[in-house]
Each structure stands twice: as structure tokens, then as C-alpha cells.
Amino acid sequence: MKLVIGGAFQGKLDFAKKMTGKETGWADGAAVSKEELSACSGVYDFQELVRRWLLLEEETGTALEAELEELLQKNPEICIVTNELGYGVVPIEPFDRKWREKTGRICTELAAKADSVTRVVCGIGILLKGEENMIKIAMIRHGKTYGNTLGRYIGVTDEPLCEEGKKELEQRTMDTVELLFVSPLKRCLETADILYPYAKQVKIPEFAECNFGEFENKNYQELKDNPKYQEWIDSMATLAFPGGESPQQFKDRCIAGFDKMVDTCIRRHYRNVAMVVHGGTIMSILEQYGVPQKSYYDWRVENGCGYHLYLSEQNWKMGRREAVVESEIRR
């Protein structure tokens, strides 16, 4: 069961429809029948249903709590949308005061039983309960390669870790994860085997490093007299690499891979995963989704380093795609 609360006219029902992915099957608490309650996607204006239950209790002696228990037993996946009545002026009429108090107590009970509780303000949902909907991600750059030690542009060149890189990684201990997403290139696969020896690996081709074209496996000293390299430098690194990818193509590819990864986590209910990828991959993803917002090069990390981040499944599904960076991963 999911609970959505908030003030009047705050966009709660629209939010609930997007959150659940269900546009139809919603019942009005002021008029819904018992039969409809047991089969509907959700009920809005739930506070009006509480009013009806309270009147029924006074007329027939049927306990309100019994009605609630029957609802949750028959429709355990229901989404309940209700106004918060505990604020503002206290009603003059005794029944209205009783209704106000009863609604508050019922909502407290529902919140304790709910899988998630969201308060909606101006159409924006604030998750109050439901950390199980958070996906935790350890995002790590591969260990050092020989080309890295020489400052070369190592993109599609499929070189392994160097001995120094392996030794640095072997001194590390990482937390256990449910699943490990990796670039298909050797340096990432070898890093993954060292850091997460028992984790199941899923290769994401889109996570591969940028294709640097004619600049591949060369460093500044080897390229400084190349007119094409100077032209690329003068463009503030916006031009496509000659014979390779453009920076925007690369970024779009990495972002598509991350979207695929998150969708897999949501569909299969993974909540604690890791990625072993490339520096450019990390910068591309966090420039797009990272919180706090930073530019591409501000997310640069050294070999074997990275970030701990988390994202809300609920927000992701609703289009609020953010990855909150919690801390750095250092050697």
C-alpha cells in the first residue's frame, strides 16, 4: 500500500497516477462503494471516505477500524490519497472535530503500514518513508594502465592493468553489492575481478571509453605538433576526434547506458550495485544527472577512485532523474 498526503489542491492525484503508472481505476472517497474499493487502483479524497465510515459507525456501530482493516486485506496494493486535516482552524461542530482527529489517527496508522509515504507540495513529491526505493551505486574508475602512466589518450585501446595498478587495487576492500555493471574493456573487467571477486557481472557496451580516433594511444608530447590536435584544443574540446567520436556522441552513449542500468535495477529490484567504468563515462553521467550540479571536468577522478551515489526509484520513474553524490571513493 502507498500513501500520498498533502494540502488541498496540491496536485496529489496527478502525482499518484504518475508514481503508480496507473491512469485509470481511481475511486472518489466521497462516493466509492465497498466493491469498488476492493478492486480500484487507488482512492482519492480518502478523508471523505473516513467521514462516511465515521457516520456509519455512529449509525450502525460498525467500527471504523474494521472497515479500514477489510480494505487493506482485500486491496493490499491500493494507493491512498488524502488531504492533511490537522492544520488550520479547529472546526466548531463536534462531529467535524471528531472527523478531523479520526482522519489524523487513521493516516498515522496507514503511514506505519505503508510501503511508501509521500507528501506532495505544489505537485512535487517529497518521500517521507520508503528507503527501500533508493538505489545505492558505487561508481568506480578502473585501475591504472601502462598508457595511463604515460598520460596517453586510452579509449578503445583494450589494454590491461599494469602491475602498479593491480597492486594498488589489491590493497582495497569494497562492500558487497548485489550486481556489478562493467565496461566490456579489459582494464575494467580486471578491476572488477579484483575489487568484487564474487559479484555477478553485467557488461554494458555503452560504458566503454570514448573512441579518440587518430589521437588514440598518444599523449600531448606526441600530438602537440599535429594541426588536427591543435584545432581540437582550440575548439575547447568540442570538435569530434578525427576518425573517432564527438564528445556529445560519447556523452549520449554513456547516459543511455546508465539509463539502461537503472532500468534493470528497477525491474529486478536491485538496491545496492556497483559500476566499474572509465573516467570519461563517470564524467558524462554525473554532468547529466549528478547532484550537486557540476561541469564535465569537475567530476574527474583518478584511477581506482570514484563516488558513492544514490537515486530514488520513485523520482526516476516520474522523470526527476537525479543521482545524489554522497561521498568520494578514494584509494
* Predicted pLDDT at 1: 92
Determine the 3-state secondary structure of 187 from DSSP.
helix
Q: Which domain holds residue 72?
A: 2-129
Q: Check pLDDT > 70 for residue 88.
A: no
Pair 309, 192 in one domain: yes
- CATH number of the domain to which 104 belongs: 3.40.50.300
Pair 149, 204 in one domain: yes
Give me the phi and psi of 313, to 5 degrees please: -60, -40
Q: Check pLDDT > 80 for residue 236.
A: yes
Domain tally for the chain? 2
Pair 122, 151 in one domain: no
Determine the 3-state secondary structure of 229 from DSSP.
helix
Pair 181, 229 in one domain: yes
> Are 209 and 282 a contacting pair, CB within 8 Å?
no
Q: Check pLDDT > 80 for residue 154.
A: yes
C-alpha triplet 84, 90, 91: angle, nearest 5°: 100
- CATH number of the domain to which 252 belongs: 3.40.50.1240
* Predicted pLDDT at 131: 61
Confidence of residue 92 (pLDDT cuts 50, 70, 90): confident
Q: Which of 129, 160, 192 is the last residue of a domain?
A: 129
DSSP of 80-112: EEEE--SSSPPPSSHHHHHHHHHHHHHHHHHHH
Pair 158, 112 in one domain: no
Confidence of residue 87 (pLDDT cuts 50, 70, 90): low
Q: Which of 111, 129, 147 is the last residue of a domain?
A: 129
Q: What is the pLDDT of residues 285-326, one digit of tens each?
A: 999 999 889 999 999 999 999 999 989 888 898 888 999 898
Pair 140, 118 in one domain: no
Pair 89, 197 in one domain: no
Q: Check pLDDT > 70 for residue 261.
A: yes
Alpha helix (H) ranges present in 144-226? 146-149, 163-170, 186-195, 220-223
Confidence of residue 210 (pLDDT cuts 50, 70, 90): very high
Average pLDDT, the chain: 93
Q: Please tell me the distance from the alpha carbon of residue 7 to that of residue 82, in angstroms, as a whole number.
A: 8
Q: Which of 129, 162, 190 is the last residue of a domain?
A: 129
Pair 136, 103 in one domain: no
Pair 136, 96 in one domain: no
Determine the 3-state secondary structure of 316 from DSSP.
helix
Pair 100, 138 in one domain: no
Q: What is the pLDDT of residues 60-83, one digit of tens each?
A: 888 888 889 999 999 999 999 999
Pair 149, 222 in one domain: yes
Pair 120, 220 in one domain: no
Q: Check pLDDT > 80 for residue 130.
A: no
